[in-house]
């Protein structure tokens, strides 16, 4: 069955430096303004990484709580905190992200080379994240950087049961140097591998850098959803830096409308993902 399109915005990430990408939202005010504008355009989920006063990535608990509260107060977006953080973040700090009480959190399904770094996600750590989210009613988005991560997810669900909300949603993060490439053939392979996951499992996809458009088109045509934002893409077209997250969300909304799968509202997105209604 074809549905509307879930649009997630990932506005900041942990990798780009503010000095090199001045349009990156790094303060709470910048993040909130971006969130409101992206919601008005059609985004329903915000995937959040925060920065400190020097615009460096941080998992500071006070700032995380303040961010969740401000996004809840100012928008109806589903607030998804990154438990991935930066490649340098310790596991304890990444687990403590859940203490900030988001609607959703990311859960990366395996270790991979991440450019010149290693993004470490040990099995025991994944199990901890999954089971703590179950206990607290936080809905996971399983981040899939490589096809084997889907096999790990099948094992996780088989051993520890369905996530909070009962619905399984994955995000294919494609084109990271060290992960799966961002192209149609790989998206089709990943989509086909979902047959081994619970019926009704949904997927979003995002392509890093120049794979953003091929991945977006492939995902829409395969019935998938979209994640866009400056975490993943800082060049809009050859020689044109991204001016804002709104520019990327507007392009995604345009593609979704062309595909006759218009953006889901935040309420529809909550229904799809099994996230309780706002103001619970
Ligand atoms: N920043 C990357 C190392 C996530 O948010 O869960 C990990 C990442 C995934 O962005
Ligand atoms: Zn992230």
pLDDT at 1: 54
263 within ligand 1 shell (Cβ under 6 A): no
pLDDT at 278: 77
What residues have CB less than 8 Å from 37, skipping those under 6 apart?
244, 245, 246
Rounded Cα–Cα distance for residues 56 and 16 (Å): 9
Nearest to 105 by CA among 75, 87, 131, 124: 131
86 within ligand 1 shell (Cβ under 6 A): yes
Nearest to 173 by CA among 131, 231, 97: 231
110 within ligand 1 shell (Cβ under 6 A): no
83 within ligand 1 shell (Cβ under 6 A): yes
pLDDT at 280: 47
Ligand index nearest the alpha carbon of residue 94: 1
Instruction: Name the closest-CA residue to atom 6, ligand 1.
Output: 84
Ligand index nearest the alpha carbon of residue 115: 1
What DSSP element (H or E) covers 47? Answer: strand 45-48
pLDDT at 99: 98
Distance from the CA of 82 to the center of ligand 2, in angstroms? 5
119 within ligand 1 shell (Cβ under 6 A): yes
pLDDT at 2: 66
Tell me if the pTM is above 0.95. Answer: yes
Instruction: Name the closest-CA residue to atom 8, ligand 1.
Output: 84
Predicted confidence pLDDT, tens digits, the chain (280 residues): 569 999 999 999 999 999 999 999 999 999 999 999 999 999 999 999 999 999 999 999 999 999 999 999 999 999 999 999 999 999 999 999 999 999 999 999 999 999 999 999 999 999 999 999 999 999 999 999 999 999 999 999 999 999 999 999 999 999 999 999 999 999 999 999 999 999 999 999 999 999 999 999 999 999 999 999 999 999 999 999 999 999 999 999 999 999 999 999 999 999 999 999 876 4
Rounded Cα–Cα distance for residues 230 and 223 (Å): 23
CB atoms within 10 A of CB 119: 20
Nearest to 48 by CA among 103, 10, 102: 10
Token representation of residue 152: 């790990």
Nearest to 271 by CA among 132, 102, 139: 139
């Amino acid at each position: 069955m074809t549905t509307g399109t879930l649009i997630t915005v990932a506005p900041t990430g942990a990798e780009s430096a503010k000095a090199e990408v001045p349009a990156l939202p790094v303060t709470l005010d910048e993040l909130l303004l971006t969130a409101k504008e992206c919601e008005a355009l059609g985004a329903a989920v915000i995937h959040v990484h925060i920065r400190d006063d020097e615009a460096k990535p941080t998992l500071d608990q006070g700032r995380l709580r303040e961010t969740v509260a401000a996004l809840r107060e100012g928008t109806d977006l589903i607030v998804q905190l990154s438990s991935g953080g930066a490649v340098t973040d310790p596991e304890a700090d990444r687990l403590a992200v859940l203490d900030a009480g988001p609607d959703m959190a990311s859960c990366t399904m395996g270790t991979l080379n991440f450019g010149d770094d290693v993004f470490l996600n040990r099995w025991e750590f994944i199990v901890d994240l999954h089971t703590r989210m179950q206990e607290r009613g936080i809905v996971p988005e399983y981040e899939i950087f490589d096809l084997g991560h889907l096999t790990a997810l099948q094992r996780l669900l088989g051993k520890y049961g369905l996530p909070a909300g009962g619905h399984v949603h994955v995000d294919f993060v494609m084109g990271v140097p060290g992960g799966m490439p961002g192209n149609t053939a790989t998206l089709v392979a990943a989509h086909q591998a979902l047959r081994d996951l619970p019926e009704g499992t949904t997927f979003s996809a995002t392509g890093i850098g120049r794979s953003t458009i091929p991945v977006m088109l492939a995902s829409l045509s395969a019935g998938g959803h979209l994640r866009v934002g400056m975490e993943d893409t800082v060049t809009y077209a050859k020689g044109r830096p991204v001016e804002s997250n709104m520019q990327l969300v507007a392009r995604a909304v345009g593609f979704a409308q062309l595909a006759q799968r218009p953006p889901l509202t935040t309420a529809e997105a909550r229904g799809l993902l099994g996230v309780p209604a706002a103001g619970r």
